Amino acid sequence: MKTITLLIAIFLAGCGPSQETLNATAKAEAARLVKPSRPLSAFASYELQPMTFSSEIIAKPEKVEESTILEAKIKDKLQPLFAEWSASNEPDRSGTLIVQSEVVKLRIVGGGARFFAGAFAGDSFIDLDLTLIDGGTNNVIAKPRITKNAGAMGGAWSIGKTDKNLHDYIAYIVHQYMVDSY
């Protein structure tokens, strides 16, 4: 019994994405997104506004809860980056970049559903609109939609771990997009 428990624990631990996988996926996904009309390095300061949710998300408390987890992960990735950029003494920088995000669609299959229904529980996905606004003119300089999904079969094999990893993937893609656009 101890051997089976150990093997299950090792298997589940291996289902999380490695740092290399997160970085590689973020680079590939961010490279496909439309770049802002103004480089982010042109701004003197950066403001990350609270995440908003579509009416579809607001209607279901479990979706709001998942979206709140995503918001925390994005903040953890962007706030240190913005602090670093704001501290930079590069010349000819002015204005504030306002960053808004909205969770448009979200479906995260829970571990219980994965355990009992496996792949029949379907895919998990997150669709996020990231809006970058020039604070001085209120012009939108970019509005990419960041989408990532976890397939039903992967979710079944990992007993829901790939579903929960979506938050990390989206946060890494947002971060990489900002870095690439600097």
pLDDT digit string (tens) for 9-46? 334 444 567 888 878 888 999 999 999 999 999 999 99
Give pLDDT tens digits for 81-133: 999 999 887 788 899 999 999 999 997 766 655 655 555 545 677 999 999 99
Crossing angle of the two packed helices 19-31 and 166-181, in degrees rounded to 10: 50
In sequence order, the β-bridge partners of residue 133 are 98, 140
pLDDT beyond 70 at 74: yes
Residue 92, pLDDT score: 85
Residue 22, pLDDT score: 78
Name the more confident of 145 and 87. 145
Distance in angstroms (rounded) separating the CA atoms of residues 83 and 139: 23
Residue 78, pLDDT score: 97
CB of 49 closer than 8 Å to CB of 82:
no
Residue 88 domain boundaries: 2-181
Give pLDDT tens digits for 154-177: 544 555 455 577 899 999 999 999
Residue 166, pLDDT score: 87
Residue 145, helix vs strand vs coil:
strand
pLDDT beyond 80 at 1: no
Residue 128, pLDDT score: 97
Give the pTM. 0.81
Residue 13, pLDDT score: 44
Q: In the predicted model, what is the mean pLDDT of residues 75-80?
A: 97
Q: How many domains does the chain have?
A: 1
Instruction: For residue 37, give the amino acid letter.
Output: S
Q: In the predicted model, what is the mean pLDDT of residues 127-147?
A: 96
| Residue 129: CATH number of its domain | 3.40.50
